[in-house]
Amino acid sequence: MHFAPEAVSAETAATFRRVISIVGWDAWKNRIRDLEAQTKHNPFITNFFNERFAIEIAFGEIREHFLATGRFADPKTAEQYRCYAFLAMIARVHQRLNQHGRRQLAGAIQKGLNGDFGLGPLAFEMRVAAELMRRNFDVEFSDLELGGGFDFLATRDEYAVEIECKHVSGDIGRKIPKHFLYKLGETLAPILGAARPEVGRGLFVDVTIPSNLTRGLDQHRSIADIVSRTLATRENAENADCFASLQTFDSNEISLKRRSSIADAEAAFRDYVSKRFGLQTSNLLAIWGAANGTLLFSIKSSRPDAVLTKILRTLKDDTDRQFSKQLPAVLFVHFADLTQENLLELATEERRGRVTGLQRMASILLGKRPHLHTAVFMADGDVLRRETQDGEAKRVSIQESGKTYYFVNHEHPAANLITL
């Protein structure tokens, strides 16, 4: 299978109709309404949903605009661009699959619309397939049409390569998974909201738990009880589930733009906590606004994360099981919930005696798997929009650009014969 993978505006209406017809509008509608309902009950979860379910949310925005105006607008956000690209690939692949493959693709879309990871894993597969086609590979969707094993068989000239795509959650190996942090936020919301300080003042609640944050409501309520006591007494408090401390600060010290997005505001809060309190944390909940001061809540575990160790274990199992070991194999890994900056940190991090750093992880994967030709690590990049004038016509090009780290197994017989 080979075609031009780019989304074409003239085909947008037909693309939407075809994609909706695969599983029906109700499946999309139910997901979008569920996300909206959860957001209303939990003010902290918006940014997490924007990361985890970006395609579904963008799909809803695009459809709403169409219903209001009768036309499909050019993508205005990175998420809308990725949604258009995903839909274009799904429509064209579906059109070319055999009947079994179409049923499998429908099942994959339905699973994404019902599951905790959304359509991200399927979107990554389509992104890889599109990039292979841009590089003149013919792509056979082996997993969809034949079942089991690797995702694609990519051929170019006389060479064939087995391709497997892995969409890895940034929560793997973390003691404080993001999903559970934001579920805890739902329990904490009324407590934190009621304790907001006066304008210009700030409160920083720092909680430490002995092990993992779980989805358990009993644990969340226990943490909420200690946080409530700390805020009420302005003193440290603890129980078997956590220890909480409280510090004050001047909220005017935080540099926030007037119309900062939630993501930008949270980044500014994390930077402030790092500089003011010497605490590096991504596990932060914040309440702020013009009418009151700022309340920041942070939670950490006494035990260290083991992110790359757990990721490596997962990838080792997958590379041993998924490939036939008869052809050169390439593993594409996408780190969900990680930014380009996070990926750069993983790429450069090295600690003696521990499995850290992408290079070390790739070395372990490639070293004992002679069939593995290349390991590729990716995160979502930046979406760049460029306008050029060609006479009286204005041309708009939109492209995603970001860092990709790839490691070739130089011991592989085809190491110098196949380039991606």
Q: Where are the domains of the chain?
A: 9-116, 178-301, 307-408
Instruction: Give whole-number Cα distances, 292 to 71, 197, 251, 273, in Å.
Output: 41, 6, 10, 19
Count CB-CB contacts under 10 A for residue 345: 13
- What pLDDT is attached to residue 9? 79
- What pLDDT is attached to residue 364? 86
Angle between helices 358-367 and 340-348 (to 10 degrees): 70
Distance CA 162, CA 325 (A): 9
- What pLDDT is attached to residue 33? 94
Count CB-CB contacts under 10 A for residue 126: 21
Quote the radius of gyration of the chain (alpha carbons, Å): 24
**What's the mean pLDDT in 126-133?**
93
* Nearest-5° Cα angle at 55, 183 to 345: 70
- What pLDDT is attached to residue 124? 92
Count CB-CB contacts under 10 A for residue 410: 8
Closest CA to 7 of 94, 91, 70: 91
Count CB-CB contacts under 10 A for residue 154: 25
- The overall average pLDDT reported for the chain is 87
- What pLDDT is attached to residue 73? 82
Distance CA 112, CA 103 (A): 14
Residue 395 has pLDDT above 60, yes or no: no
Distance CA 319, CA 316 (A): 5
Residue 150 has pLDDT above 50, yes or no: yes
Contact yes or no for 152/139 (Cβ under 8 A):
yes
What are the φ/ψ torsions at residue 338 (nearest 5 degrees)? -110, 140
What are the φ/ψ torsions at residue 279 (nearest 5 degrees)? -120, 115
Q: Is the Cα dihedral 239, 242, 243, 247 positive or negative? A: negative
Beta-bridge partner residues of 394: 389
Distance CA 139, CA 194 (A): 56
Distance CA 323, CA 331 (A): 10
Distance CA 289, CA 309 (A): 40
- What pLDDT is attached to residue 123? 93
Model pLDDT for residues 199-247, shown as the tens digit of each residue? 889 999 999 999 999 999 999 999 999 999 999 999 999 999 999 999 9
Sequential DSSP letters for 163-193? EEEEEE-TTTT-SS-HHHHHHHHHHHHHHHH
Closest CA to 247 of 295, 177, 194, 290: 295
* Nearest-5° Cα angle at 223, 219 to 229: 145
Contact yes or no for 215/176 (Cβ under 8 A):
no
**What's the mean pLDDT in 162-188?**
90
Residue 145 has pLDDT above 70, yes or no: yes
Query: Which range has the top average pLDDT, 36-45, 205-214, 248-257?
Result: 205-214
Q: For residues 317 and 389, which has the higher predicted lDDT (pLDDT)? A: 317
Query: Which range has the top average pLDDT, 10-14, 26-30, 39-43, 148-152?
Result: 26-30
Contact yes or no for 298/279 (Cβ under 8 A):
yes
Distance CA 185, CA 183 (A): 5
Residue 352 has pLDDT above 50, yes or no: no
Look up residue 241 and give its two tokens: 């589930």
- Which strand (E) or helix (H) includes residue 153? strand 152-156
